[in-house]
Amino acid sequence: MRLRDWFARLGAWRRRWVRSAARRGDPVWRAVVHGLAHDLRVPPTDMLALTGLYRAGALAAPAFAAQVVAHAREALTRVDELGCLIEEAVHPYRREAVDLAALVAGCADAAWSAADEAGVVLHCEELPTLTWVNGDARMLEMAVTRLLARAILNASPGAAVHLRIGLSRRVCCVEIATAAASPNAAVAALSRSAPAGMFVRRVMRCHRGKLTLRKEGGAAVWRLVLPQSKKAPEGAFLPVDR
């Protein structure tokens, strides 16, 4: 088969898949279409409205700059969330023993600069020495990264985002608490129909885990609950309480 024929067949298969996914009401497809048609248009539309207010003299320059930056960050976060949802839908999961504590520490290190730029304090509690889970390291890392990015984005200026890992019997959880300017909006950003919420729930379902959301006072608390691996990989040392 010539390369041109192979690409033609691939293109035809892709078109059939798009049509069939739309007919079946595939939730990922619906979320992507809604994100492209609506969600990604909201921040630029708001920035144009702010520009009109600034030109009319109804908005001071510092306030205008701050709000434009906030809308730009929101737009970039929405693009990343849609990208994660699309990648997860086609990702071939690979099961392996993953040190969850090391994975979370790496995600926290990568988020420090974003938190600093947003004027948010990222507080990472002391992590357990070793916390093994059986899963796909790439998808788990993306899930924690998306939650951290959302928490930083929704946090009030000067507020703190708290990150910790909890252990209970054969279950471990990654908990992120953010003092959000609007806790309801922070929880809604991870609803079942939102791209970020759909992505994280799909990852958790493939790991026999779950995502829980709750509000505590003025804070939004997100928790990833995962079953611990029954055995560590060869050469690793388990904690004493196991």
pLDDT band at 76 (very low <50, low <70, confident <90, very high): confident
State which residues form the domain around 195.
Answer: 96-227
Q: Between helices 27-37 and 3-24, what is the axis angle to 10°?
A: 90
Q: Are 22 and 78 in a shared domain?
A: yes
Tell me how crowded residue 91 is: count the other CB atoms within 10 A of its CB. 16
Q: Are 102 and 209 in a shared domain?
A: yes
* DSSP state for residue 54 in the 8-state scheme: H
pLDDT band at 148 (very low <50, low <70, confident <90, very high): very high
| 28 domain residue, yes or no | yes
With a pLDDT cut of 90, the percent of the chain lying above it is: 15
Q: How many domains does the chain have?
A: 2
| 213 domain residue, yes or no | yes
Q: Are 163 and 139 in a shared domain?
A: yes
Residue 240 has pLDDT above 50, yes or no: no
Residue 147 has pLDDT above 90, yes or no: yes
Whether the pTM exceeds 0.85: the reply is no
pLDDT band at 200 (very low <50, low <70, confident <90, very high): very high
With a CB cutoff of 8 Å and minimum separation 6, the contacts of 226 are 100, 133, 135, 171, 172, 173, 174, 204, 207, 208, 209
> Among 73, 90, 107, which residue terminates a domain?
90
119: CATH: 3.30.565.10
Distance from C-alpha of 148 to C-alpha of 158, rounded to nearest angstrom: 16
Residue 236 has pLDDT above 60, yes or no: no
**What does the pLDDT read at residue 241?**
45
Q: Are 74 and 13 in a shared domain?
A: yes
Residue whose C-alpha is closest to residue 229's, from 94, 100, 104, 107: 100
Residue 173 has pLDDT above 90, yes or no: no
**What does the pLDDT read at residue 138?**
93
Q: Are 80 and 109 in a shared domain?
A: no
Q: Are 85 and 106 in a shared domain?
A: no
pLDDT band at 140 (very low <50, low <70, confident <90, very high): very high
> Among 50, 73, 90, which residue terminates a domain?
90
Q: Are 134 and 179 in a shared domain?
A: yes
**What does the pLDDT read at residue 139?**
94
Q: Tell me which long-range contacts 5-13 makes (C-beta under 8 A, separation of at least 24).
A: none
pLDDT in tens, 5-23: 655 675 666 666 555 555 4
Q: Are 100 and 185 in a shared domain?
A: yes
> Among 90, 121, 138, which residue terminates a domain?
90
The residue that leads in pLDDT, 36 or 153, is: 153
| 11 domain residue, yes or no | yes
